Amino acid sequence: MPSSAERQAPAAQASQAAQTAPAAVAPPVTDAATTAPPHDAQPSDARPDNTADPSPWSSPQYRSWFTADTASAVGAALKGFAIALIAFSLCGSVVMAGWVTTAAAIAGQVTGLFGGTVVDRHNRKRLVIVNAAAGAMLWGVITVLLAAGALPFALFATLVVAVSAINGLLGGATNALLRSIVEPAAYPKAQTTNQARDSVIQLAGSPLGGLLYAVTPWLPFAAAALMYAISGVSATRIAVSERIRERLTDKASRPSFVHDFTAGWAWVMRRRRVVIMIVIASLINFGINGVIGAAELHLVGTGTDSVRIGVWNAVAGVGMLIGALIASKLVTRVSVGGGVLLLSVIEPLTLLPLLFTDSYPAILLSTLLVALPVPLASALLSGFMFTKTPQEMQGRLGSVVNVMATLPMAFCSALAGQLLASFGFAVAVAVFMAVLAANVVIVLAAPSVRRLPAADRWAQTEL
């Protein structure tokens, strides 16, 4: 599920198969999964089977949440284009400019590791507002200093890393808050809606950011600051009570941060089905992202012009958008196990032509096809996990999933580049396809995941 965290580059985002993006503190001694929360602590997971599937749009709280999340996503897309360009213009070094984005990504990952625990210990609506306010303020400072010609490289790099670190720490609050807003049965549809939204932003964000940068270099940052401000204002309109969660985490009886952090990881690791689902997501992410990374490096290395590379990049977004629209129609009808099995089998097949040809049309077609089933499987996996996870564990589940399912992707480009240089395109593709093939074996050998039902039977299914 796309989160409120800083959005990834288009190629990486398109390859986020089955990522579950990604609650409060569990009671001090008892297991959150076996302790029944108060009746009004969370929406009821039980709905009559003959009740029509609810639409998340019927809730004004979801509409406010969606506006807040969309504004922050647009803000991230608009300024993402300009960061490296501004960094280079300030320092004159391609290497240093590259390190700015790398340092920001590392900062976000490191703080994100602990962000779930922070989200589970504090009022989530408040954290969403603080995160948006920090983005508006810091990108606003960059805007003013750039417009005045008074922004040194060191300060720019510090501010970029700082806003990424804050977002990593607090960004998970948005997705955790969603669990308190929509009914469990509406969660999968909310996921597919978010994925379609992110695909549109992916397609339009970079061109729009480039247009703003062409007008004047500080304009993308000004627009980003405005979007984060809109996000914060929209979040203030979300009327969701967290009094039950706060009562369960009364300061007088609240365990330490370290206790909550380790308890979150222990809670996930004790659930074999969840661990298998995360492993499946990790392998699919790594395999698809590796092939896409190899394709991108191959296109660059063979002198493909920037326009054709841009078209290829857009094709990945188109595939995700089409897939999200299809998923919105099927997500409540398809079983989780069937969707995961379908994705696992189809993905290697869509990439099969690349073992025999490195032609531009083949790369375009495979990129389009590989993206199509991703939104459905992603919504099913994340929908089931987050719907069945107690509200007091939502943030920590998000942190564990993000670390385990997406961290291996950080090494895809380096590995793809090494394989391309040493063995060529076909071998590079074959190595990552072998990872996808291994995932098929795991899915077939995991009946606990393969037999997971459709959304209308989740209430009767154990996590």
pLDDT of residue 50: 39
Burial category of 255 from C-beta neighbours within 10 Å (exposed 0-12, middle 13-18, buried 19 and up): middle
CB 90 within 8 A of CB 142: no
Residue 1 lies in a domain: no
**Per residue in 258-268, is it b (16+ CB within 10 Å) or e — as a string?**
eebbebbbebb
CB 131 within 8 A of CB 4: yes
CA–chain centroid gap for 165, Å, is 16
Query: Could you list the mean pLDDT of each consecutive 10-residue stretch along the chain, which spans 463 residues?
Result: 37 34 29 33 38 68 90 85 84 80 84 89 91 95 94 94 92 83 78 82 78 88 94 89 52 76 89 91 91 87 79 84 87 89 92 93 93 87 85 84 79 84 92 94 92 87 84
pTM, full prediction: 0.71
Residue 370 lies in a domain: yes
Give the integer Cα–Cα distance in Å for 414 and 396.
29
Q: Nearest CA to 363 among 8, 7, 11?
A: 11
CA–chain centroid gap for 428, Å, is 26
Residue 396 lies in a domain: yes
CB 51 within 8 A of CB 448: no
Residue 320 lies in a domain: yes
In the chain, the number of structural domains is: 1
pLDDT of residue 418: 86
Residue with tokens 């962000």: 115
Give the integer Cα–Cα distance in Å for 256 and 371.
42
93 phi/psi in degrees, rounded to 5: -125, 125
Residue 247 is given by DSSP the state H
The secondary structure of 406-452, three-state, reads: HHHHHHHHHHHHHHHHHHCHHHHHHHHHHHHHHHHHHHHCCHHHHCC
Residue 3 lies in a domain: no
Domain that holds residue 288: 10-460
Radius of gyration of the chain (CA): 22
pLDDT of residue 127: 93
The secondary structure of 362-423, three-state, reads: HHHHHHHHHHCCHHHHHHHHHHHHHHHCCHHHHHHHHHHHHHHHHHHHHHHHHHHHHHHHHH
pLDDT of residue 106: 84
pLDDT of residue 435: 94
List all residues 6 or more positions away from 354 whose beta carbon is below 8 Å from its beta carbon: 291, 295, 362, 363, 366, 425, 426, 429
pLDDT of residue 10: 32
Give the integer Cα–Cα distance in Å for 408 and 411.
6
Residue 430 lies in a domain: yes
We report the CATH number of the domain holding residue 333 as: 1.20.1250.20
Residue 5 lies in a domain: no
pLDDT of residue 49: 41
Task: List the structure tokens of 255.
Answer: 């365990």
Task: List the structure tokens of 294.
Answer: 């190899």
CB 331 within 8 A of CB 379: yes
Residue 398 lies in a domain: yes
List all residues 6 or more positions away from 446 whose beta carbon is below 8 Å from its beta carbon: 276, 280
List all residues 6 or more positions away from 314 whose beta carbon is below 8 Å from its beta carbon: 10, 203
